[in-house]
Structures are given as C-alpha cells and as structure tokens.
Amino acid sequence: MPFVPDPEIGNRIITLMAALVLVLQIAAVGQRGIVSSIRIFAVQSFLLGAIAAVIAYFNQASHIYVVALLTVFLKAGLLPRLLERLVERIGIRREIEPLINVPLSILISGGLTLLGYVVAESFYHPEETSARAALGHNTLAVAVALFLIGFFVMVNRRKALTQVLGLLSLENGLFLAAISLTYGMPLVVEIGIFFDVLVAVLVLGILVFRIGETFDSMDVSKLRKLRE
Amino acid sequence: MIEVLINSALQLVLLLLLAPLLSGAIKTLKARLQMRRGPGILQPYRDILKLLRKGMVIPETASWIFSAAPYMVFATATLVGLMIPMTTTHAPFSLFGGVLAVVYLLALGRFFLALGGLDTGSSFGGLGSSREMTISAIAEPAMMLAIFTVALGANSTNLSEMAKVAVGQSWRFLAPSQMLAFAALFIVLIAETGRIPVDNPATHLELTMIHEAMILEYSGPYLALIEWGASIKQLVLMTLLVNTFFPFGLSSDWTLQTIGVGLAFYLAKLLMLACMIVLVETTNAKLRLFRVPELLMVAFILGALALISTFLF
C-alpha cells in the first residue's frame, strides 16, 4: 500500500501559509520603501512556491513540483533581483507616495479581503465536500483578496515601478487561485504563464527606465505632458 | 485549598521576581546581538534596589496624583498578572474577571501614568502623556480584537477557561485566525512595552521618547515602582501571548512534577518570545512618530481579519 499523507494536516499547513501570504500583502500596502516592497514580494512568492510544493506532496502530483521550483526560482529569485537592479540603476531610493494615506489604504485592503471572502464563499459547496474540495476553499478567498489588493496597489501608487509590483502581486493571486482550485494546470500552460510574467517584467522594466530617464522621475502622472 | 494557596503564592513570587530578570535578559541578548557586552542580566534588580534606597525629589507643583500614579501602575500590573495563567491553567484571580478586566486594568494603569506625567506641568511630561495616549488609542482595540478571537474559540472570556480549552486543541495554533491574532498581539506587545519600532527604551532623546518622557520627573522609590511595574506589565503581556497561543506544558492539576514541567515550558516559551523581540528591535529602525499609527493600524486590521476569519474558516 503506498503512503498516503493525511490531507487534514496538508489543509492546515496550506491554510496557514495562505494566511501568511495575506499578511505579507497587507504589510506591502503599508510599506513605504521601494526595496523593502520588492523583498516582501520575494518572500510572498517563496511562500507561494512552498504552497505549491505542499499541494504537490499531498495530492501526489509530481508535475506541480516543477511549478513550485519555477515559482521559487523565477518569482522569488530572478524577478526581485531584476527589479532591485533597476532601482539601483535609476537611483531613486525615495519613499513611495500613495495617493490615499497609509492607514486608510490598510483599512481599504482589509475591506477588500472581506470582499474576497464573500466572493469565495459562493464557490463553496459543503455538500460535495471531499478532502480535496476543502483544500481549496480557504485558499480561494485569500487568492481573490490578493488579486483585489494587487489591483488596489496599482491604482493607489504613482510611481511606475510600484505599479509593476502591484501587477506582480495580482499575478500571485491568480497563481494561488489556479493552483488551489485545479491542483496544477498542465505544465505547458504554467510555463507559458511564467514566461509571460518574465517578459512583462522585462518590458515594464525597460519602460520604467525610459520614463525615469525622460522625466527624471517615475511618476506616471507626468506622462500627461506627452500630449503637448 | 492549600494547593490553591501555594499556586497563588508561587505565581505572585514568580511575577515579581521574574519580571526584572526578563527585562535584563532582553537587554543582554540585544547587546550581544549588536556585538556589545552590555550590562549583566541582574542589572534591573540592582537598579531597583538602588532606587529604593534613594531619597525622592517631588516637584512643588505636584498634587496627590503624582504620588498615587506609581502605586497604581505597580498594583494594576500585578493584579493583571494574577489573572493570567502562567504555569498551570488555573490563574489565582481568574474568578475576579476575564479578558475585559485584564485590558481595562492595564488601561487604568496607563491612565494614571499619563496623569502623573501631566500632573507636574512640565512640558516633557505632557508631551509623553499625549503620545502614549495617541498610541494606546489604536493599540487597545487591536489588542481587544486579537484576544476576542481566542475567546471566541474557547467560548469564554475567562483566561483560565481559555487556557483549558486551548490545551485540549494542541493543533489549533495552525489555524489562520490564531496566527493573524498572534501577529496583531505581537505588534501591540511591541507598542505597549515601548520597544524599538515604536519607542526606544534606552534613550532620553526628547524628540523620540514616549515612556521616558512621562516619568521624567520621578525619582527614587517612585521611579523604582514605575520601572518595576513596567517590567511586570511586559511580563504579563508576554505571558498572555505565549500562553493563549501556545499552551504547551500548561497543566490542570497541581502536583510538584506538573508544576515543574509547566515552569520549564513557560520559561522556554518566554525566552523564545524574548528572542523574537530582540530580533525585531535589532533589525528595525525606530519609526517616525507619525508613522506609528500606521503600524498599529496594521495590527488593528490583522486583529479584525482574525476575528472575522473565525466565522469563515
């Protein structure tokens, strides 16, 4: 008889890590330094990779291990490194200035988390509950919350680089939703998405660098000058 | 009956004697982590003994509140300490009140300390009091939300009952609501004990000090009482944190063995929490005063999410 791990323990571990990811996301909203925002994103991505590995272990789906490894390598290693180098090259170390002040932003992200739970609740059908269905329920709420807060960060920040960070954490939410609901999409799709994100960050990085060079600032509201 | 008395006496002695030791241990650990030698672990005892032997200077403008505040600070901290389970699940004064009594007794102590700071009419005292109240106005609801999360899980606001239920569900600390509540309460602990991102316990720089500004006019035995009370309050909050979230080693019966095991576990847990505090203090810079509400807002939202997620998960 093959060794089958107890899904109950897996469920607890995944829920706990998902909660940690959520805490990090809220911390990122309250964060002002650009470099520390990037580091928070790196830790968050590492946790996502760990969640993928745990799901792979408890569902015995070996191809998710590849996804987990890719996540850790790309999103927790390569992308933050690229972004930090970009920050160094532009030489802007000033604090992030959100449009809405920080306490209110944190309150709003708390509200968005609630919204995430409400949305996820409608997907939850306890009558068809199996261990696998229960595995996804808590994580979906966190994933929707990540998605919404990522959107909010993009809207709330003026600097181009921090908007890229918002986009990336939004993508983390999508990844969490995909992996916790489907237990791993086909590997080709996953690799396609990773490549997509990588290219997006590279292109956005170049764009941010150009904006920084042309306007001496990463403030996207200055792009309005382009009309004249 | 005898056992109850022994337990209560043990807890009182532990509370009074362990508190300065814990402050000393945190100071020493912090110094070592920063490659300094630092004072010895027993330094807080020496400070308290020295201050108790000295004479006092009381400002002419001070009223009775100035003299009452040190006693209130010391008494409320000790009283709260007796309402929280330390080595066994049974706290001596647990029938006296639950979580709400704990929170508001601490608030009473803080209220008198702030009054004592205002009473002499010195500008520093008023400044410290106003800052302390600004911070506690947000820290207190965050703390309430976090503790209520645990209380909901136990169906009781009595801390002894909560500890008993928690011992039964040893895996419960993995639940997200517990973890969110722990994070919220940890930030509150940092704020309430005046640790680095919020306040610096080792400085008298007028621009940044909060706790030190309030007690600037105190000297001699009054200062000793306030410092001792502050370290007891720190021990109480840390006990609350470790015993409600990680109830390992708490026992419900009183034999010599279980009390010994409980004590060993308790000290180990306290030491680990102290290490966490030292790490936070060493790796962070002090926040600007106007950024402190932002940090506490994070704690408040974490507490609120914890409370809400108990209903959802």
* Whether A23 contacts chain B with CB within 8 A: yes
- Whether the pLDDT of residue A1 is over 50: the answer is no
Spell out which residues of chain B touch residue A121, defining contact as CB-CB under 8 Å: 312
* Gap from B313 CA to chain A (nearest CA, Å): 7
Indicate the pLDDT class of residue B170, thresholds 50, 70 and 90.
low
Q: What value does the mean pLDDT take over residues A34-54? A: 89
Spell out which residues of chain B touch residue A20, defining contact as CB-CB under 8 Å: 179
Task: Check residue B208 and give its pLDDT.
Answer: 76
- Judge whether B202 and B190 are in contact, CB under 8 Å: no
What digits encode the pLDDT tens for the residues B21-65?
999 999 999 999 989 988 889 999 999 999 999 999 998 888 999
ipTM of this complex prediction, to 2 decimal places: 0.72
Q: What value does the mean pLDDT take over residues B129-158? A: 89
Chain B nearest-CA residue for A27: B298
- Which A positions 167-226 lie with beta carbon below 8 A of chain B? none
Helix H, strand E, coil C: the string for chain A is CCCCCCHHHHHHHHHHHHHHHHHHHHHHHHCCCHHHHHHHHHHHHHHHHHHHHHHHHHHCCCHHHHHHHHHHHHHHHHHHHHHHHHHHHHCCCCCCCECCCHHHHHHHHHHHHHHHHHHHHCCCCHHHCCHHHHHHHHHHHHHHHHHHHHHHHHHHECEHHHHHHHHHHHHHHHHHHHHHHHCCCCHHHHHHHHHHHHHHHHHHHHHHHHHHHHHCCCEHHHHHHHHC
Mean confidence (pLDDT) of chain B: 87
Q: What value does the mean pLDDT take over residues A183-195? A: 76
Residues in chain B: 313
**Cα(A100)–Cα(A29) distance, integer angstroms:** 11
**Cα(A133)–Cα(B144) distance, integer angstroms:** 34
* Whether B298 contacts chain A with CB within 8 A: yes
- Whether the pLDDT of residue A4 is over 70: the answer is no
* Whether B175 contacts chain A with CB within 8 A: yes
Out of A12, A15, A23, closest to residue B302 by CB: A23
Chain A nearest-CA residue for B138: A103
Out of B174, B302, B312, closest to residue A16 by CB: B174
- Whether the pLDDT of residue B194 is over 60: the answer is yes
Indicate the pLDDT class of residue B313, thresholds 50, 70 and 90.
low
Rg over CA atoms, chain A: 19
Q: What value does the mean pLDDT take over residues B94-117? A: 89
Mean confidence (pLDDT) of chain A: 80
Indicate the pLDDT class of residue A63, thresholds 50, 70 and 90.
confident
Interchain contact, B301 vs A12, CB within 8 Å = no
Task: Check residue B26 and give its pLDDT.
Answer: 93
Indicate the pLDDT class of residue A92, thresholds 50, 70 and 90.
low
* Gap from B304 CA to chain A (nearest CA, Å): 8
Interchain contact, B295 vs A30, CB within 8 Å = yes
* Whether A103 contacts chain B with CB within 8 A: yes
What digits encode the pLDDT tens for the residues B231-256?
999 999 999 999 888 888 777 777 77
Interchain contact, A15 vs B313, CB within 8 Å = yes
Sign of CA dihedral A133, A134, A138, A141: positive
Q: What's the one-letter identity of residue B75?
A: A
* Whether B102 contacts chain A with CB within 8 A: no
What digits encode the pLDDT tens for the residues A155-164?
888 777 788 8
Interchain contact, A106 vs B301, CB within 8 Å = yes
Spell out which residues of chain B touch residue A47, defining contact as CB-CB under 8 Å: none
Indicate the pLDDT class of residue A189, thresholds 50, 70 and 90.
confident
Model's pTM, two decimal places?
0.85
Spell out which residues of chain B touch residue A109, defining contact as CB-CB under 8 Å: 301
How far does CA B128 lie from the centroid of its chain? 19
- Whether the pLDDT of residue B271 is over 90: the answer is yes
* Nearest in space to B232 (alpha carbons), one of B103, B106, B66, B125: B106
Indicate the pLDDT class of residue A5, thresholds 50, 70 and 90.
low
Residue among B149, B301, B311 with most chain A CBs within 10 A, to mutate = B301
* Nearest in space to B163 (alpha carbons), one of B253, B80, B93, B85: B85
**Cα(B159)–Cα(B232) distance, integer angstroms:** 18
